């Protein structure tokens, strides 16, 4: 099943059930191109709701347009919401809880948590809604590393329990290493690839690469 449209990662997380929640976390500069792949590839066959928890930037329209030509995506299938505070995120997710058979792309969902460690439990407001949404939809999460160390995703233990698949994405010696942290049917799994592949457009089987499209 196509999750991101980026072949190395889709092979890594396979098999995936329709209503599972899948998370990629780590270096934002690697995650941002993957967000564009996911939006473009999934919108060709599903309604995609992008929940963007970043105040400025994050979406590169020319890249999205190019990827849409590769995947033959439907721009009218892409619905974008941008959050500027925690309550905005919660309200958007509450509205999405009524959706069915859609793809929800959740970018940095815990970005607006209070900086006070004693209030970190506010994360459960988001995690609970994430679980509700994933009952009838597929949720693809792009997350940051926890501010409290341990190289785990932001959101705490409840978040870790709620998400079905978790993949850590990081740079190592000039390459990108993606590693399974949690998967219902896989104990481990690693894919290593050049960051140039994200630029060249390595997509899921059955679609042309961006490089092939440019040359045609």
Q: Is residue 71 part of a domain?
A: yes
Number of structural domains found in the chain: 1
CATH number assigned to the domain comprising residue 92: 3.40.50.300
Lowest mean pLDDT among 47-51, 84-88, 100-104, 152-156: 152-156
What is the spatial distance between Cα 148 and Cα 127, in angstroms, rounded to a whole number? 18
Say if residue 66 is exposed, middle or buried (CB neighbours under 10 Å; 0-12, 13-18, 19+): middle
| CA atoms of 162 and 182, how far apart (whole Å) | 11
**Is the bond into 187 cis (omega within 30 degrees of 0)?**
no
SS (H, E, C) 109-172: CCCCCCCCHHHHHHHHHHHHHHHHHCCCCEEEEEECECCCCCCCECCHHHHHHHCCEEEEEEEE
In a domain, 2, yes or no: no
Residue 150 pLDDT grade (very low, low, confident, very high; cuts 50, 70, 90): low
Query: Mean pLDDT, the chain, as a whole number?
Result: 88
Of 56 and 150, which is predicted with more confidence? 56
Residue 1 lies inside a defined structural domain of this protein? no
The pLDDT of residue 201 is 57
* Residue 185 pLDDT: 95
Query: For helices 28-42 and 61-71, what crossing angle results, to 10°?
Result: 40
Which H or E run contains 212? helix 210-215
Q: Count of CB atoms within 10 A of residue 16's CB?
A: 18
Q: Is 125 part of a structural domain of the chain?
A: yes
Residue 78 has what pLDDT? 93
pLDDT in the model for residue 149: 65
Closest CA to 120 of 129, 128, 112: 112
Tell me the whole-structure pTM to 2 decimals.
0.89
Q: Using one digit for the tens of pLDDT, what is the confidence trace for 56-74?
A: 777 888 888 888 988 999 8
| Any domain includes 42 | yes
**Residue 168 domain flag:** yes
**pLDDT computed for residue 200 by the predictor:** 59
To which H or E segment does residue 26 belong? strand 21-26
Give the pLDDT confidence score for residue 144 in this predicted structure. Answer: 92
- Residue range of the domain that includes 206: 7-215
> For the residues 71-93, what does the mean pLDDT come to?
93
Residue at 20 is within a domain: yes
* Cβ pair 113, 86 in contact under 8 A: yes
| Rounded distance between C-alpha atoms, residue 152 and residue 25, angstroms | 8
- Between these two residues, 174 and 190, which has the higher pLDDT value? 190
- First-last CA distance in the chain: 28
Is 59 inside any structural domain?
yes
């Amino acid at each position: 099943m196509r999750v991101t449209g980026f072949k190395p990662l889709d092979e890594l997380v396979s098999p995936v059930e329709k209503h599972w929640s899948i998370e990629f976390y780590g270096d934002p500069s690697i995650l941002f191109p993957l967000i564009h792949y996911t939006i473009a590839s999934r919108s060709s066959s599903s309604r995609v709701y992008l929940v963007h928890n970043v105040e400025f930037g994050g979406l590169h329209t020319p890249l999205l347009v190019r990827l849409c030509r590769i995947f033959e995506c439907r721009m009218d299938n892409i619905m974008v919401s941008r959050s500027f505070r925690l309550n905005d995120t919660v309200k958007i997710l509450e509205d999405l809880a009524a959706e069915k058979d859609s793809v929800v792309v959740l970018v940095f969902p815990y970005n607006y948590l209070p900086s006070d460690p004693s209030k970190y439990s506010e994360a459960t407001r988001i995690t609970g809604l994430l679980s509700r949404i994933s009952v009838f939809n597929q949720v693809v999460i792009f997350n940051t590393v926890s501010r409290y160390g341990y190289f785990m995703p932001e959101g705490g233990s409840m978040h870790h329990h709620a998400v079905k698949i978790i993949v850590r994405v990081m740079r190592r010696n000039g390459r990108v290493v993606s590693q399974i942290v949690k998967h219902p049917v896989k104990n481990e799994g690693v894919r290593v690839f050049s960051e140039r592949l994200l630029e060249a457009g390595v997509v899921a089987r059955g679609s042309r690469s961006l490089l092939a499209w440019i040359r045609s």
